[in-house]
Amino acid sequence: MSVLSFNPIGIIKTPYIDTAPYQPIEAEDQEFYLELEPHYIDGLRELDSFAYIYVVYFIDRLTTSPQMTVSPPWAAGQQIGLFASRSPLRPNPIGLSVVKIKKIIANRVYTSGLDVFDNTPLLDIKPYIKDLDSKPEANNGWVDAAADSDHLALHIQGIPHDY
Amino acid sequence: MSVLSFNPIGIIKTPYIDTAPYQPIEAEDQEFYLELEPHYIDGLRELDSFAYIYVVYFIDRLTTSPQMTVSPPWAAGQQIGLFASRSPLRPNPIGLSVVKIKKIIANRVYTSGLDVFDNTPLLDIKPYIKDLDSKPEANNGWVDAAADSDHLALHIQGIPHDY
């Protein structure tokens, strides 16, 4: 199939220069924001009427090729299909995060924690619409059956812990 | 910024050859499935442990350029920022849908309704993880305040109706 091309609409600013957590752990003094190129500013109108948004980005710090199965942390070596995981190493390294909007100032959208490196290329912002996107009858799939599912759940929910 | 490139991992098969609904309305005899290129088949392991998945695709039937504000249907001419809408006309035409998994047979993932055209290029599949992605405290933003929000809600939820 043909190659598709995309142009970033901005960058994501985070405190993570060299290392990033598995899931965002937000300290009091840390800032996370999406900085759009100025000509996209009108596209943000009414965005702050939403509590949550999807952030779509390009995972640009990968140095190895994706494997079709992965062994997630705290899953005791269990082999999971790549598409059943949220591993960043994917054939198309498109990242997706659900975050809270804190405030919008000009071309900056301040959000809750985002587990991406500073200056990550931003591809899209979409409103997270409760009636469309919140699925109370969803499940956690293999995660709930993983060897240390309680520990994995802390990471997935971004809950700080010491072990 | 530099141009980023992606290669489809497969295609999406739907009944929509020429026209597609605003949101999926699934008839009894209609099939929707993701057909991955065969070398990605191992990537599907354990995917069927999830009730829902994210489908990420390239919106490839666009003939006009995106505008930074849009006037959604049933919103009485209200101007909404593009990034506060789910309009397919975006700077990076990446589509995102949450669907149910029905069954997986070899390289085909059968799903609930998807409002995309037949043969849409598939970019990624990610598990929808309840603890990470379901946000009961989310809202519907400007949609709830729209002129005909009840009608718009039917479309957003994919509920068939005659008007």
Q: What tens digit of pLDDT does each residue of B65-104 get?
A: 899 999 987 777 889 999 999 999 999 999 999 999 999 9
Q: B10-156 has which fold?
A: Elongation Factor Tu (Ef-tu); domain 3 (2.40.30)
Write down the residue that tokens 């070899």 correspond to: B106
Element (H, E) at A62: none
Contact B54, B125 (CB under 8 A): yes
- Token pair of A92 as six digits: 């198309």
Question: What residues 101-120 of chain A have any CB closer than 8 A to a CB of chain B?
Answer: none
From the CA of B29, how many Å to the nearest CA of chain A? Answer: 24
Contact A96, A56 (CB under 8 A): yes
Listed residue (B11, B14, B37) closest to B106, CA to CA: B37
Tens-digit pLDDT profile for residues B35-56: 999 999 999 999 999 999 999 9
Strand partners, A5: B5
Q: Does domain A10-157 have CATH number 2.40.30.70?
A: yes
Tens-digit pLDDT profile for residues A10-62: 999 999 987 666 555 666 678 999 999 999 999 999 999 999 999 999 998 88
Ordered by start, the domain boundaries in chain B are 10-156
Q: Is the pLDDT of residue B13 over 60?
A: yes
Q: Which of A44-48, A77-81, B49-53, B122-126 has the lowest mean pLDDT?
A: A77-81
Contact A128, A112 (CB under 8 A): no
Q: Under an 8 A CB cutoff, do B43 and A68 touch? A: yes
